[in-house]
A and B are shown apart, each in its own frame.
Chain A
Amino acid sequence: MNLTLKIWRQSDAKSQGKIVDYPISGIEGDMSFLEMLDVLNEELINKGEEPVVFDHDCREGICGACSLQINGEPHGPDRLVTTCQLHMRKFNDGDTIYIEPFRAKAFPVVKDLMVDRSSFDRIQHAGGYISVNTSGNTQDANAIPIRKENADDAMDAATCIGCGACVAACKNASAMLFTSAKVSQYALLPQGQVEATERVLAMVNQMDQEGFGNCTNTGACEIECPKGISLENIARMNREYLKASLKG
C-alpha cells in the first residue's frame, strides 16, 4: 500500500505547529496503525530527521495511552477499537490520511501528536475514589450482596480507559462521558453511596475548572468511545449532580 500521511508536527507546547506531508510505501494490511508509524519513524531516523512523537504503550487497547485523530475521528474510522488496534487493512492504496493530536484546550500538545491529559487525572484526584483505608481490615467481600445488574452496569462504566477520545470527538471538547463513567461506577455500588454527594460535586467542579466544553448531547463521544461507554452515564451524572446540588 502507498499512502500520503498528513501529520501534525509541533516541537513543544509553546511552538507553532503545522501539518507536514509524508509519503509512505510498502504498508501491509496486517500492520497496526502504530506499526505503520513505526515504519515511518524508522525511515525518518535513518534519514537523520526527528521521528514523530505519539503516545502509546500496551498496544492491546487497554492502557488508554494511544490517541490520534485519524481522518477527523479519534482512533480512526473503525469502531470499538483504539488506535493501536486499528489495522491498515481499513485503508486503501493511495489514501491520504490526516493524523492530528486530540484537540482540546484542556489537552495541550506536548510534542507532535502527544498531548497532556493530566486534566483527566485531576478530575479523578478530586473525588474518583471511595475513602476506605488500605488496611485490609474491611468487612468480608461478600458481606454486602450487590445486584448483578448493578455490578454489571458499574463494570461497564468502569471499563473506561481514560484515553480522551470522548473529548476529541466532541465538537465542544466536553469531558462529560469520562467524568460520568467514573461517577457512575461508584453511584451504582453501595460502597459509593456514602460520599456520593461530595464526589459528584467535586468531580464536576474540577471538570469545569479544567476548561472542557459543555455537553450538548450530540452523542459523538459514545460512538467514538473505544470501550463503548454509554450515554446513560451522562444522564446518571446529571441526576446525581442535581440531587447533590440540592442537598449540598
Chain B
Amino acid sequence: MSILDSKIPEGPLADKWTKHKNTINLVNPANKRNIDIIVVGTGLAGGSAAASLAELGYNVKTFCYSDSPRRAHSIAAQGGINAAKNYQGDGDSSYRLFYDTVKGGDYRSREANVHRLAEVSGNIIDQCVAQGVPFARDYGGLLDNRSFGGVLVSRTFYAKGQTGQQLLLGAYSAMNRQINRGKIQPFNRHEMLDLVKVDGKARGIIARNLVTGEIERHSAHAVVLASGGYGNVFFLSTNAMGSNVMAAWRAHRRGAFFANPCYTQIHPTCIPVSGDHQSKLTLMSESLRNDGRIWVPKRKEDAEAIRAGKLKPTQLSEEERDYYLERRYPAFGNLVPRDVASRAAKERCDAGFGVNKTGEAVYLDFASAIQRYGNEKALTSGIHNPSKEEITRLGEEVVESKYGNLFQMYEKIVDENPYKTPMMIYPAVHYTMGGLWVDYNLQTTVPGCYAAGEANFSDHGANRLGASALMQGLADGYFVLPYTIGDYLSEDIRTGKIPTDTPEFDQAEKEVTDRIQKLMSGSGQHSVDFYHKKLGKIMWNKCGMSRNEQGLKEAIDEIAALREDFWKNVKVPGTPSGMNPELEKAGRVADFLELGELFAKDALHRNESCGGHFREESVEQEGLQKGEALRDDINFKYVAAWEYKGEPKDAQLHKEELVFENIELKTRSYK
C-alpha cells in the first residue's frame, strides 16, 4: 500500500463531489475571522482562491513577484476556456468534457478530479459573466463558442484572443473588492523563498521584499501555492521571464511530493528561434491550425536552397510540398493534438527538411485558406467571374477578420507578411502538466500546504487539451479550495495567531539568508543567464520532444555537474539589500538546476510513451500505428510522486495507482 492517500470520496463518480461537500467540516463565519491563509501566486488559480477565501471571511495575504497581481502569466492565455454548458446543443455534457479531458491526458489523470472539474466548469462561466468578463457574444446577445483541438463539440468560450487576460482581470477585480474591504493584504514584488513548517504542518513562509531586499516572515494557518508551472527550466519557453518553480520546489524540499515532473507540453505553433540572443518564445494560437496547412519541401535540396535564401516557399508547386500531417494522419490532418503535431515537426526538421536559417521551422500556410474563403466570399457577395487578385483580396480580408491580431504579431516579430508568404513555426515548451502531488482536496503531502492551478499535477494527465488550463485554474480557486481548505482549518479554530518568533521561523530564515549569501559569493565567472541557457540546452536536447535512455542518463549527469559549477562560479552583481533582479534570477535558476535533474530522472524511469512524454524506446512496431507513441498501461498506469531526499538523484519514488472505473483505456489514434 502506497503512503499516498488520494482521499477520493466513495460512491458513484457523478456524486462524489456533491457528497464530499456535504460531509466535510465547515468553519463558522466568526471563526474564519481568526484564521489566516497565505496564497502564493496571483494568477487564475491564486487570484480566484484569494478572492474566494477572503470572501468567506478568512484573512488572506497574497504574494506575487510582479508589481501587480494582474500581471501573472495566466494573462497570456489566448484561445479560450472550456465549459460544458452545451449552449450550442451539440451534445456536450459534464461527462463528455470529463471523458475528453481524461482521454486527451492519455489516461494519466485521476478520474474523480477530472469529473469534478467538468462539473464545476459551467459555474465558472456564470461567475465570470457576473463579474463583468466581456466574453464574445453573437448578434442575439448570447455567448459565442469556438472549437478546439481534440474534441467533437464547441465548448470553448473566448474573449477575442485575450481570454486569459480577461479572466485574470476578472479574478483580480474580485481581489480588488476584498482588498478594498481589507480582507486581502497584497504583497506585490515579494517572492516566497521558503515554506515554514511547525509540528509538521505548513504554518507560514519566508519571503523577500524585492524592492527593499528585506527578508520577511509571514505566518498563517494554511499556505496555498498557486505559483504556476516550471516550463522555464528549458530557458526558452512561452512562459513569462519571471515564471519559476521556486515556491513549489521549496515546498518539495520541505516534504511535498513532486508528481510527474517529466510531463511537459510542447506547443506546436510558436514563432521559431531567431538567434542566440532570444529570450523567450511567442505562441501563435492553436486556432491557426483550423485554416493553416503545415508543410515542408519534399526534396531536401529545396529545403537547403530555402535555408540558403536562394528559393522562396511560394516558388514551390503543390507537388513539391510535403503536407506531412495530412499525409501521416489523414483523419485529423492539421488538427492532431499538440504532442503529435510537435513531434511530427521535429521529425521532419531532424531529417533535414527545416526551412529557416537554423533548420528548425516548418511552414504554416494560409494560401489555400485564402483562396477558399475568397471564392466563398465572392460567391456570397454576388461577384461573378472574379479575377484571381480579387479572390485573393477577399480571402485575405476573411483571414484578417479571423486571425488579424495574430498575423500582425507575427509580422512585428518576424518582419514578413504572413498573408503573402507562409508563416514559419516550430514547437516550444508551453505548459507543464506535472507539479506538486495533491490529494482530492488539493492538499500536498505537507498538511496545510495546498497547491492549485498549473502548480499541481492533478487534472491533465500526460497531456493537456487546449482551453483547459484556464478552466482548471479557476475551478481550483473559485470552487474547490474554498470548500476543501475549510475541512482542514476546522481543526484550527482554537489555534490562535501563529507566532513568527519561533525556532522554526528562525531556522527557515537563517537558511534563506545563508542561501542568498552563498549565491552572492560565487567566484564570479559567469552570469546567471549563462547557466540558465546551458540548462535549457540540455533539457531541450535530452528531455525535450523525444527522449531516450542514454540521453536522459547523460542529462542527469550533465545537470548535476552544471549545478555544482553554478554554485561555485556564478556571478551575482550588486548586494542582497535593495532591488536586485540578478539575485532573484539566481535563486530561481538554482532551483531549476535541481528540478531539471528530477525531471530527467522521472523521464528515465517512465519507460513508456504517453502524452507529452515520448520515449524513443516505446513506439508501436507494426501495423497502422507503426512509429507512433506506445503507452504501457500494465507497468505505468500510475502517478509518479517523488519525495525529496537531499539530492534530486536520490529522490524516492512513490506510486499512486490510477483506477479507471468509468473509462475504458484505449490507444489514442489520429490516423
Contact = CB atoms under 8 A, between A and B. Distances in A.
B240 interface: yes
A141 B125 contact: yes
A239 interface: no
B413 A85 contact: yes
B646 interface: no
A28 B132 contact: no
Interface string B83-110: 0010100000000000000000000000
A100 to B, nearest CB: 17
B130 A139 contact: yes
A18 interface: no
Contact of A120 (B68, B412, B529): B68
B277 interface: yes
A136 B123 CA distance: 5
B180 interface: yes
B143 A141 contact: yes
Nearest to A138: B130
B129 interface: yes
A145 B140 contact: yes
B7 interface: no
B632 interface: no
B480 to A, nearest CB: 11
B221 to A, nearest CB: 20
A130 interface: yes
A144 B142 CA distance: 8
Interface residues of B, number: 82
B137 A148 contact: yes
Interface in A109-126: 110-111, 114, 116-118, 120-121, 124-126
Given A50-B573, A65-B67, A87-B412, A136 B280 contact: no
B166 interface: yes
A97 interface: no
Interface stretch (B69-77, B393-401, B433-441): B69-77
A189 B128 CA distance: 13
B76 A147 contact: no
A29 B277 CA distance: 11
B134 A89 contact: no
A50 B120 CA distance: 49
B409 A51 contact: no
B130 A147 contact: no
Give the dominant DSSP class at A's interface. loop
A148 B67 contact: no
Contact of A31 (B160, B169, B277, B529): B277
Contacts of B87: 142
Nearest to A52: B581
A139 B130 CA distance: 8
B126 A39 contact: no
Given A59-B240, A129-B176, A116 B67 contact: yes
A145 B142 contact: yes
A128 B51 CA distance: 14
A35 to B, nearest CB: 5
Nearest to A189: B132
A154 B578 contact: no
Contacts, number: 214
Which residue of A55, A63, A87 has the most chain B CB atoms within 10 A of its CB atom?
A63
B66 interface: yes
A30 interface: yes
Given A45-B571, A136-B124, A162-B70, A62 B75 contact: yes
A238 to B, nearest CB: 21
B134 A151 contact: yes
Interface residues of A, number: 81
B174 A129 contact: yes
B579 A111 contact: yes
A200 B527 CA distance: 48
A197 interface: no
Interface in B193-216: 211
B188 interface: yes
A134 B242 contact: no
Contacts of B579: 12, 53, 110-111, 114
A162 B578 CA distance: 25
A138 B479 CA distance: 13
A116 B189 CA distance: 10
Nearest to B408: A80
Given A45-B573, A129-B173, A191-B130, A146 B73 contact: no
Interface in A19-59: 28-32, 34-35, 38-39, 42, 44-46, 48-51, 53, 55-59
Given A35-B277, A60-B76, A121-B68, A189 B176 contact: no
B76 A140 contact: no
A205 B595 CA distance: 48
A189 B126 CA distance: 15
Nearest to B164: A62
B167 to A, nearest CB: 11
Contact of A118 (B68, B130, B482): B68
Contact of A62 (B67, B165, B242): B165
Interface in B386-427: 408-409, 412-413, 415
B582 interface: yes
B573 A142 contact: no
B141 A146 contact: yes
Contacts of B465: none
A46 B527 contact: yes
A192 B87 CA distance: 24
B264 interface: no
A132 interface: yes
B75 A63 contact: yes
Nearest to B180: A125
B142 A128 contact: no
Given A28-B275, A147-B141, A89 B415 contact: yes
A129 B184 CA distance: 15
A230 to B, nearest CB: 15
Contacts of B143: 141-142
Contacts of B127: 132, 134, 136, 138
A185 interface: yes
B241 A57 contact: yes
Which residue of B67, B85, B125, B282 has the most chain A CB atoms within 10 A of its CB atom?
B67
Interface string A185-197: 1100101100000
B179 interface: yes
A159 interface: yes
A87 B132 CA distance: 35
Contacts of B176: 124-125, 128-129
B120 A136 contact: yes
A201 to B, nearest CB: 14
B240 A148 contact: no
B131 interface: yes
B574 A50 contact: yes
Contacts of A117: 67-68
B48 interface: yes
B73 A63 contact: yes
B18 interface: no
A124 B68 CA distance: 11
Contacts of A151: 134-137, 141
Interface string B462-492: 0000000000000000110010000000000
Contacts of A137: 123
Contact of A49 (B482, B573, B581): B573
Interface string B261-282: 0000000000000110111101
B241 A62 contact: no
B68 A129 contact: no
B211 A57 contact: no
Contacts of A80: 408
Given A46-B527, A128-B173, A141-B126, 5 more contacts: A45-B573, A63-B75, A65-B67, A65-B71, A140-B126
26 contacts: A34-B279, A45-B573, A45-B582, A56-B241, A57-B66, A58-B73, A59-B282, A62-B75, A63-B75, A64-B71, A87-B412, A118-B68, A126-B180, A129-B131, A129-B180, A132-B130, A134-B55, A136-B478, A139-B130, A148-B139, A148-B141, A151-B135, A154-B132, A161-B165, A185-B132, A189-B132
